[in-house]
Structure 1
Amino acid sequence: MKTVLITGCSSGYGLATAAHFLAQGWQVIATARTPRSDLLPPSPQLRVLPLDVTDAASIDAAIAAAGPIDVLVNNAGIGLFGAFEATPMATVREVFETNTFGVMALCQAVIPAFRERGAGCIINVTSSATLAPFPLVAAYTASKTAVEGFTASLAHELRSVGVQAKLVEPGYGPGTRFTANGQERMQGLVTAPYRDFAAQIFAGMGQLTAVTQPQDVAEAVWQAAHDDSGRLHFPAGADALALAAQPRQG
């Protein structure tokens, strides 16, 4: 029986991914900064652990408590929407600490055991914002694009020791807590010069019919975990799949 450790399981994509792997008979280690055992059905194959990906001690404790794992899913992330000109650099650094450096730290924590065993898979969840430019998310996109480049390079070096690295790229998920989780962080970032433009963007997003559901991401992560072809990119959701089929913009 294989074991997966998933970060950011309190809601959205992480929660759906944990439920999906659990339903398929895997041992699941669901982690979150503030873990709740009532979010998933009780199971002897489920463990819920605290994990703050920005805290080295928390990472060490979670990895030690987890024991041997077969797949790491770096899903934890925070959102940011607003004019870049109005975004404090402290906020940009906060986004990178979770979305980029947290991913790197978790990878570094699991690679030694994967390398020694000559097996293992790292799946880093990014965003369709890396597939085509989208306005008012410049810092967020930068944090996710950094993970794309990091993972592409990492996949090459890990392949030499029998370990895989993959990317799952979700589209726009209106059912996630992206906005709610970042509400305080985003206060005051849509300034007067950008207000009308932002209103147009929000109106357009409200009319989208091709969007990403949490189950789309769970299934893409499942596919990535079972793929042995060397494929790197796994778009998730109808909108992400459509973007991935187009020539890259920007």
Structure 2
Amino acid sequence: MPTALVVGASRGLGLALVHELLSRENTTVYATVRSAPPAELAASGAQILTLDLTDDASIEGAAAQVPALDIIVVNGAMGEDEKLQTTSPERLLEYFNTNVVGVHRIMRAFLPALRKGKETQKKVIFVSSAVGSLEIEVNQTLGFRGPYSVSKAALNMLAVQYHNELCHEGKEGFIVIPLDPGWVDTVMGRMSGDSGMPPSHCAKDITDILWRLKPEDSAKFWRWNGETLSW
């Protein structure tokens, strides 16, 4: 009877993940939004939490409402197809504050609840991107690049370091992975065109991976289709 937290659940992939997780037997879901939840989410059966990835107090307040967790999926992020040459330092900091530090805030706040989860394994997914792969991005001219890519590479390292700290001894059953959801038909995905996969399709694939994750899968860079990516 796992309990899951989906961060960034108001639309797109996050909302689809809420529906998919709730469809799995005996699964309780907490879903986060920044403001009033859309009607579809409010009617889903998920327990709604309000938080902002850039606001410590809102995250700590949300975490105080969650006694125990077995799964955390951090989906919320910011992204535009921008170039570093025209990105101000302040703008780059915005990316890091949301896409990296925001995820760190979630982990710090909800880790006590994760440690109290009833399941033997505690599973964490940071929704990343293939553009965070150093090998893939060399000489790349397509897709999101610039500050978004830089922040996703840092997010991947955040996952590795949480793996190092939480999974090294294997006593608490932690599994921490970054995961590339592929090209999904969402607001962000449509910035690259109109051929992304339906969020529901991606959410099912991600949840299937989530359900079969084992300790030896931790700190690998996963794709939605079950393949792994180079760092």
Same fold (TM over 0.5): yes
Contact kept? 1:78, 1:99, Cα under 8 Å: yes
Judging changes above 3 Å, is the alpha-carbon distance between structure 1 residues 110 and 41 closer, same or farther for their aligned structure 2 residues?
A: closer
Contact kept? 2:67, 2:116, Cα under 8 Å: no
Does 1:121 find its partner at 2:123? yes
Contact kept? 1:37, 1:48, Cα under 8 Å: no
- 1:99-149: per-residue Cα shift (whole Å, max 9, x none)? 110111111122234346675221110012124224462110111111111
- Map 1:224-235 → 2, pairs under 5 A: 224-226=209-211, 227-231=213-217, 232-235=220-223
TM-score by length of 2: 0.82
Larger helix fraction of residues:
1
- 1:218-240: per-residue Cα shift (whole Å, max 9, x none)? 12431343211521332026xx9
Q: Distance in 1 between matches of 2:221 and 2:201?
A: 14
Q: Distance in 2 between matches of 1:54 and 1:37?
A: 21
- The root-mean-square deviation of aligned C-alpha atoms, in Å, is 2.7
Q: Distance in 1 between matches of 2:109 and 2:28?
A: 19
Moved over 6 A (4+): none
Given residue 37 of structure 2, which amino acid in structure 1 is its aligned partner? R
Q: Which runs of 5+ in 2 are unaligned?
A: none
> 1:31 maps to what in 2?
32
TM-score by length of 1: 0.76
Moved more, 148-157 or 69-78: 148-157
SS in 1 for 2:59: helix
Percent of residue pairs identical: 26
- Map 1:96-175 → 2, pairs under 5 A: 96-115=96-115, 119-131=121-133, 132-133=136-137, 134-135=140-141, 137-159=145-167, 160=169, 161-162=171-172, 163-173=174-184, 175=185
TM-superposed deviation, 1:27: 0.8
Contact kept? 2:128, 2:155, Cα under 8 Å: yes
SS in 1 for 2:32: strand
Q: Which runs of 5+ in 1 are unaligned?
A: 181-201
Q: Distance in 1 between matches of 2:111 and 2:37?
A: 27
* Partner of residue 223 from structure 1, selected from 208, 212, 215: 208
Pairs aligned (count):
216
SS in 2 for 1:176: coil
